Structure 1
Amino acid sequence: MPDFDILVIGSGPGGQKAAIAAAKLGRRAAIVDRPDALGGVSLHTGTIPSKTLREAVLYLTGLNQRDLYGQSYRLKDDITVADLTARTEHVISREVDVVRSQLARNQVALLPGTGHFLDQHTVAVRDAAGQDRVVTAENIVIATGTRPARPATVEFDDVTVMDSDSVVSMERVPRSMVIVGAGVIGMEYASMFAALGSKVTVVEQREAMLDFCDGEIVEALKYHLRELAVTFRFGETVAAVERHPRGTLTILASGKKIAADAVMYSAGRQGLTDGLDLDKAGLTADKRGRISVDEHYRTAVPHIYAVGDVIGFPALAATSMEQGRLAAYHACGESVGVAGDAQPIGIYTIPEISFIGRTEDQLTDDMVPFEVGVSRYRELARGQIIGDAHGMLKLLVSPTDRRLLGVHCFGTGATELVHIGQTVMGCGGTVDYLVDAVFNYPTLAESYKVAALDVTNKIRQIDRLG
């Protein structure tokens, strides 16, 4: 008889939810991870510290209040790293306690150390002293997460040349900064440092950024960041980064040179699979360390599952949690509901971006007719009260059956607001529900009614002429 019904390697969001879901179903569950890494990358260097840092930046800079109190408004003139990290350390400490409590309350065994396969049902857990404890399991879930990819040609010192892990423990706020990569992480940090007053240059080898988002909303973000003195260099690759006593020099392949206090690389992530001895379990990873899975999150070995960032896109904490739950349910033979393919995406730039469903470009490529309804925060009483003149909500609606095809939001609270649209879409509702619903006033949620009225008026005009 195996030691556990489910053994999870990694205690990040996906691993936690897999182990707890199995325990709730009455199975013997265990998690393998280092004691100092409980909660995974998400809790220690990823989602939680970066989003907490963002809140500290918004609060201390007073950025969101400047439309009301003037562009010179700041809560604190000289913002130090200590100011920013105090809040982060507090939140991480509390969250570690929450994770530990949840695992204990659900009787999930915590095996301290790092795991590697001995065979398809056996894992050796190596502790801090280098001693191995061998455990067996009927099912195994790989939830080891990722680390930032570091180009071999760049010499990182984690002080002036950093990645997205080391930037959260930086020594000082740089006056100028080069961010390599205009993906989600790169743009989140670009907006944070720009809000702090750093002169930020973003270098991206592609011709656009966040190309999976709505084009109009990406343009709005670009405009907002340029207002904060962010410079974009699209279609450019970094040839070299030089460290000097007085800063860094980033040399682009085109010959341009950018002087800055610091450089942050955000050029993709690498799956943490190199120490797992996957071959002993009959598994392989791709060149980025990612593991392929099927719709149930099973690997090529049916009783071994993989969830979270280690399987690739979308690599978000929210989706990782759900993947962990679904993997555990499948392993335990428990049926699950079908939530549909649409998952909300949240990007914590300043301002936030969030969406669910398809974009205008995707619908056009798929030859799906749609109509657009827009609401702008500056036209809402709540938008005026909070001082957000940039925010907007966009609804993409089918003119035939009036169902929501996509919801795209930019501005304060976007990652919260999107869930109203998600609920309507998930329940098969139409835009008429939003037209008839009464929303609290004044709220940002009212933007749904305004956008719904906008789009239904357009559809009515088309129907009259048709």
Structure 2
Amino acid sequence: MREGAPVRRSGRSGEEWSRGSSQVASSRRLVGQRAAVRTTQLVGGRRRDSSVGDDAAGADDGQRRGDGGLDGQHMQSAAVVCFGSGSGGGKVAVEGVELWKCLKCTPSSPPPPRRRCHSQIRPPGSRFLLRQSLADAQVLRPPERGVWGGIGSGSQAVGFDCGAVEAEIGSGGGGGAKASENGSAPAKGFDYDLVIIGAGVGGHGAALHAVEKGLKTAIIEGDVVGGTCVNRGCVPSKALLSVSRRLRELQNEHHLKALGLQVAAAGYDRQSVADHANDLASKIRGHLTNSMKALGVDILTGVGTILGPQKVKYGKVGFSDNIVTAKDIIIATGSVPFVPKGIEVDGKTVITSDHALKLEFVPEWIAIVGSGYIGLEFSDVYTALGSEVTFIEALDQLMPGFDPEIGKLAQRVLINPRKIDYHIGVFASKITPAKDGKPVTIELIDAKTKELKDTLEVDAALIATGRAPFTKGLGLENINVETQRGFIPVDERMRVLDKDGNLMMLAHASSAQGISVVEQVSGKDHVLNHLSIPAACFTDPEISMVGLTEPQAKEKAENEGFEISIAKTSFKANTKALAENEPEGLAKMIYRPDTGEILGVHILGLHAADLIHEASNAIALGTRIQDLKLAVHAHPTLSEVLDELYKSAKVSANVSSPVAEPAQA
């Protein structure tokens, strides 16, 4: 769910930073001195500048000065990059940043080669080289502080933009460290170019991309490869949802009769269903492990803790710890279920999604606290298996994270016809597990007045109130990373935002964020447009979305002074949907009629989770509706739902130039 759109802020490329006196942070000579580091944090949409001065922790003096007879005459930098869990508030101090002026460089000198500075080899331990020669007695503005990261099943990175310098990562062997299986050798003085803590989807994506970039990479995992998504999240849940969809179809006599089918009463075996989910998780876990090993990623087993800049320990309980060093560290430790105060989880009758996926029993009546993605998907599973469901939602409407129109349709299709009732505008202030023959008891209080409204007695309760980042015990204090509620908020370049963050806790988002961080670490200014990342709820029928909801788009339009329009199309007019006897569905597009820019697309219907990617790619690439109107879609396919959607949009006839930039909040 996206509670708000990320704040957008403009940035400068490395070449812009290295151009002109306006980018000069100081005019003092920095031979053998430390440079104050200017940092910027967006707070409430405003810039707040601060500095990390001479007391910032860094490399030892020998590393700062380098060796090889250069005696500090060339620029050096030591830094830490972390990849943390979730999105939220916080700030990070740039660690050990050292800027050293090159006395050999002058404004008239040609730009030095990437790995040399006027024929001089970069000093060992140095992380950055100049993009452009430094003027005498001047220092380019150091890189701004930033936080790179993702949410998803829990990935987030902390670090800083290279700014006027370009990263030199994985450029040579040294320090006696062995090359990894892919043939790359670590930067001199380090065991690895990159160490990733957490082998979930985010860490996996970052690791594979790092190897592609030529970085010697290790990944540390204290549990099992695959993280939340593969073992306790999207993978096993989709196995259960696949069963529930087929079972629901076999039990729908009216639907089958319309297709001319006659099927005897359908049932299920609970343990076999649970085994199907577990077997799928095991298979995907093996795929992830093998893909990393095949590319030469070293998988280090144990709980990882950051000891300081560029140093991590890992190990198992009862065994001695191991310590590795890396030029960059990524924290991809994921998230855990969030359980509000007053709720006692016993793992049997009061459960989280982690427990529910094991399907150890199917209750006759289960209360689901929270009506977001997790709650809605489990309601689909439980009702198909025969349970009665009661939703408990703190807000005044069900499915508050969806576009309101899609949410109302989802309630009509997914809630009202099924054995589901609900309480809205209430908190579950206290939940007590079943014990000694007594049922689970739930006390409901008014969300506004906090007065007791009702007490429920059910067979089980599923807590689906979201997830929290897993950052405790990672040693973040050792690198001066502060969190708020465990989160570190970031902008589209993964830099520190404000206390709210508001990025997506989705597995594929975390993978994209991990790849983006590796791009930044490798010296490329990569911007990940989170508004182009799709999301899906795998109910029957499915719900998918990308970009802004209608209320969000209206707010953006009002603030920026433009108009929006809405286009809609029904699945009832689609040949393939009618052939499948699945005509219930709606596709909705929010767009700018003056430019043809897509602001958001929302779909409820058959295979909505697959259909959304065409719109997602259009937003990511800035493709105009005018161009999409001319695209050809195979007939008869569900993709024609989007074809009709584009063709029904009314765009100004005089628009001919492409959208300048993908939609941003």
Alignment TM-score, normalising by the size of structure 1: 0.89
* Aligned residues of 1:363 and 1:369 also touching (Cα < 8 A): no
Structure 1 residue 166 and structure 2 residue 355: aligned? yes
- Give 2:242's match in structure 1, choosing from 52, 55, 62: 55
For residues 242-294 of structure 1, give each alpha carbon's deviation from its aligned partner in whole angstroms, at most 9, with x where no partner exists. 3242532222123312222110001222221112121112222222x223445
Distance 1:449 1:414 in 2: 14
C-alpha distance 29-390 of structure 1, shift in aligned 2 (>3 A):
same
Which stretch shows the higher mean deviation, 5-14 or 249-258? 249-258
Task: Show CA shifts across 1:289-309 (max 9, x none).
Answer: 223445443679xxxxxxxxx
Q: Which of the residues 224, 233, 238 maps onto 1:37?
A: 224
2:642 matched to 1:448?
yes
Distance in 2 between the 1:110 and 1:371 partners?
A: 50
Stretches of structure 2 that go unaligned for 5 or more consecutive residues are 1-188, 446-451, 654-665
Q: CA deviation at 1:85?
A: 1.5
Q: Alpha carbons of 1:285 and 1:78: their partners in 2 closer, same or farther (altered >3 Å)?
A: same
SS of structure 1 residue aligned to 2:649? helix
Alpha-carbon offset, residue 87 of structure 1:
1.9
| C-alpha contact (below 8 Å) 1:62/1:74 kept by paired residues | no
1:256 is paired with a residue whose SS is strand
Relative to structure 1, the CA distance from residue 372 to residue 276 in structure 2 (aligned partners, 3 Å threshold; closer, same or farther) is same
Moved over 6 A (4+): 71-76
Aligned Cα RMSD in Å? Answer: 2.6
Aligned residue type for 1:363: A
Match of 1:235 in 2: 425
State the match for 1:319 in structure 2: 509
Shift of 1:364: 2.1
Return the letter of the residue paired with 1:29.
Answer: T
* Corresponding residue number in structure 2 for 1:358: 548
Is the 2:219–2:300 contact (alpha carbons within 8 Å) kept by the matching residues of 1? Answer: yes
- 1: CA distance, partners of 2:255 / 2:470: 46
| Percent identity between the two aligned chains | 26
1:297 matched to 2:494? The reply is yes
- Map 1:191-206 → 2, pairs under 5 A: 191-206=380-395
Structure with greater helix share of residues: 1
Change (3 A) 1:342 1:256: same
Structure 1 or 2, whichever has the larger Rg, is: 2
> Alignment length, in residue pairs?
447
> How far is 1:372 from its partner?
2.3
Superposed displacement of residue 84, structure 1: 1.9
In the alignment, is residue 23 of structure 1 matched against residue 211 of structure 2? yes
Conservation of the 8 A alpha-carbon contact between 2:304 and 2:314: yes
How has the CA–CA distance of structure 1 residues 186 and 73 changed in structure 2, closer, same or farther, with 3 Å as cutoff?
farther
Q: CA deviation at 1:111?
A: 0.5
Contact 1:64 1:388 (C-alpha < 8 Å) held by counterparts: no
Aligned runs of 1:295-444 on 2, under 5 Å? 295-297=492-494, 313-336=503-526, 341-365=531-555, 366-367=557-558, 368-444=562-638
For 1:248, the equivalent position in structure 2 comes to 440
Equivalent AA in structure 1 for residue 387 of structure 2: S
Residues 1:115 and 2:304 aligned together: yes
Compute the displacement of 1:25 (Å): 1.0
Pick one of 178, 190, 193 that aligns with 1:2. Answer: 190
- Per-residue deviation, 1:451: 2.2
Deviates more, 1:17-26 or 1:401-410: 401-410
Of 476, 479, 482 in structure 2, the residue corresponding to residue 281 of structure 1 is 479
2-structure distance, mates of 1:400, 1:66: 48
Is residue 493–residue 528 contact of structure 2 (8 Å, CA) maintained in 1? Answer: no
Change (3 A) 1:369 1:73: farther
Deviation per CA, 1:26-63: give whole Å up to 9, x if none. Answer: 111000003x5111111110111112211121123326
C-alpha contact 1:14 1:322 (8 A) present in aligned 2: yes
Tell me the amino acid that sits aligned with residue 474 of structure 2: L
Following superposition, the deviation at residue 431 of structure 1 comes to: 2.6
Q: Is the 8 A contact 2:389 2:421 kept in 1?
A: yes
* Alpha-carbon distance between aligned partners in 1 of 2:607 and 2:332, rounded to the nearest angstrom: 30
Residue type at the aligned position of 1:409: I
- SS of the residue corresponding to residue 238 of structure 1 reads strand
Deviation at 1:331, TM superposition (A): 1.2
